[in-house]
A and B are shown apart, each in its own frame.
Chain A
């Protein structure tokens, strides 16, 4: 029995194939910008999505009948990490990674036929309406109401932090359908909203300090969607949420992204781009991050190995989310330190964009996808049994 994935020659060759594909097919300027943490437009991401879709690689992890590849978990793992390592722009996860697995498992035939092909091709852009002003870490306390009126759901309430809602065709959201359920988790349903065709949906920008509009507030004022837009069963939305949030656990530490950032950092220092900090101190810190990254990769591969033996990802996933997020922040911070005070400049700084800005953007990774505090709570209670009698599953409860 092999608890730690060690890649076969064929798998290693496959990773090389993916690498070559990125280098041959991705616009070099887009690749450069991804590596330097400079903005890539939604349109450029759509082009890359189409490139992957033509190759049959837009959603390798899906079942073959819906356009997946049937690859082994090891190949899926390598594919995601290699793309990131090579500087491919990340495809929007909302349709491909988050909603699709739920639809495939719980959706109606019609829903699958309607939505999956357009998610696969990139024709439809999706957003995820989970969080609300009062429901962040405590997602189950969400208040947006949906009431069935004939053959339509009427939605009222407010979503918050809805990334790319302003450019989305579709939203999948959580709504309260039973306000008096014995537990708040039991009164939640998942609905699909057509963002373009539904009246009573108002999208307002939330500006972040990075000066970019990536996320939004979404107001529902008697917005009506067809009854058929319910995903799965009524009041079972929380179960599906666990599928959404439990998704992509194998790649949760983002090892490929970290490797790319580490390489970029080393390149910058080697090419003399460092100004701040003594070189020797910088070397020590870079070595320390690299060491930590090795540990995270080892744990990721152990999780993958167990998964191949049929074991679902457990609390390792929480450890990996915690540690992976911390590594990303340390790496962007080291870029800032290496660049010294020049990193403070807004706008162009020679070949670099504002490095402090990209470090600031990375602060979000310990906040979303289940904050670091929430991850620790889950491990404390679920794995270590602290502060409660029964253990629960290791999945994050927060969008």
Chain B
């Protein structure tokens, strides 16, 4: 990375850091969580307009910079900050939507204040839930996919749909288009999500965003970037959890001393720090390796980073609650919220599944 890009990243980190300190203390975050529970969306967010001002969505949507090596690194800084503050707002989904649009060469169209969210199958690298049928001057789309993070706030959904021969095409469909049903709900961790169903939705050719080699490359790359940005979010949440837990060990007094004086807890706090460092280092390396696009080496590292982050996330989540005692279960204190956020990550990126993907990339037959 060049010095200049280092500077950009540092400025981005500082800008977001200041913003979060000012506009996103835990009580403000909680207000947003309650707003989502009450069925509200981004209109309730104080932080969102400031994030737009910082230019992070424009950065993700920038077509000219779509292949620029620095972009993913910059976005990873944003994702980690969101995890660290347990942000409710769908920042990572919006970044990924913009990123996919940019990779397909339509970033400019969508960036115009429109929030696009990519289908889960694109983000998690699984099979598409949608079918496309050619019609006169357009396409008929049907199917559904569940659990779109941030889907409750989407204005445009990006879906990959297969035709009768299994060929995939990417479509951008406005959520208010006839036949589109977005069913919003909240996750245990407080974030909003939605199920999306397309029931014989007829779109014009203009809705076809990408196909062929361009799409194949974009699909490969967006799944990689989605995994890494979600991992960065988890890294941020782990950092927050470890900071809280360490504080608890230093300040909570029982038996006439801080509970951190008990070796049984010290060693576990050490383990929490250790598994965090492993995940953090791997994710950083995987991000660096993925800056030039998806290739086998990048995927291998990314799988490793996802598996390690999932395992670490679970351990940190459980230990955080346990070492907080009863306080670790309350709504008013962030520990339980860290548990919820980290558990979301490791259920969306199950360690075992990604270990399998990893083993396919690093087969026994190949030398290490």
Flag if B147 contacts A344 (CB, 8 Å).
yes
- The residues of B that contact A363 with a CB separation of less than 8 Å are 318, 321-322, 328-329, 339
Q: Which of B11-19, B95-103, B184-192 contacts A (4 or more CB under 8 A)?
A: B184-192
- The residues of A that contact B347 with a CB separation of less than 8 Å are 276, 336-337, 340-341, 343-344, 356
Flag if A342 contacts B352 (CB, 8 Å).
no
How many inter-chain contacts with C-beta < 8 Å in the A-B complex?
109
- Give the residue name and chain of the A residue nearest to B147 (CB): A341
- The residues of A that contact B337 with a CB separation of less than 8 Å are 209
Flag if B330 contacts A207 (CB, 8 Å).
yes
Flag if B187 contacts A134 (CB, 8 Å).
no
State the Cβ distance, B142 to closest chain A Cβ, in Å. 21
State the Cβ distance, A148 to closest chain B Cβ, in Å. 28
State the Cβ distance, B107 to closest chain A Cβ, in Å. 28
Flag if B188 contacts A346 (CB, 8 Å).
yes
Flag if B253 contacts A134 (CB, 8 Å).
yes
Interface size class of A (residues with CB under 8 A): 35 or more
State the Cβ distance, B237 to closest chain A Cβ, in Å. 14
Q: Is A366 an interface residue (CB 8 A)?
A: yes
Q: Is A352 an interface residue (CB 8 A)?
A: no
- The residues of B that contact A371 with a CB separation of less than 8 Å are 322, 325
Contact indicator per residue, chain B 337-357, by CB within 8 Å of chain A (1) or not (0)? 101100110011010110000
Flag if A373 contacts B265 (CB, 8 Å).
yes
- The winner among B254, B339, B348 for most chain A CB atoms within 10 A is B254
- The winner among B185, B193, B329, B339 for most chain A CB atoms within 10 A is B329
Which of A138, A161, A342, A376 has a CB less than 8 Å from the CB of B254? A138
- The winner among B253, B344, B350 for most chain A CB atoms within 10 A is B350
Contact A357:B328 (CB < 8 A) given known A138-B255, A344-B147: no
Task: Name the prevailing secondary structure of the B interface residues.
Answer: helix
- The residues of A that contact B193 with a CB separation of less than 8 Å are 345
Q: Is B146 an interface residue (CB 8 A)?
A: yes
Instruction: Please measure, in the bound complex, the distance between the C-alpha atom of A345 and the C-alpha atom of B152, giving whole angstroms.
Output: 13
A195-242, CB < 8 A from B: 206-211
- The residues of A that contact B253 with a CB separation of less than 8 Å are 134
- The residues of A that contact B189 with a CB separation of less than 8 Å are 344
Flag if B325 contacts A137 (CB, 8 Å).
yes
- Give the residue name and chain of the A residue nearest to B268 (CB): A373
Q: Is A150 an interface residue (CB 8 A)?
A: no
Contact indicator per residue, chain A 275-314, by CB within 8 Å of chain B (1) or not (0)? 0111001000000000000000000000000000000000
**Apart from A207-B331, A337-B350: 12 A-B pairs, beta carbons within 8 A:** A137-B259, A137-B325, A208-B329, A208-B336, A336-B343, A344-B147, A345-B193, A363-B321, A366-B322, A367-B322, A372-B322, A377-B264
Could you list 11 examples of A-B contacts with CB < 8 Å?
A137-B325, A207-B332, A208-B336, A277-B353, A346-B186, A346-B188, A356-B188, A360-B188, A364-B326, A368-B326, A373-B262
Closest 5 CB pairs of A and B: A209-B336, A138-B254, A207-B331, A356-B188, A138-B255
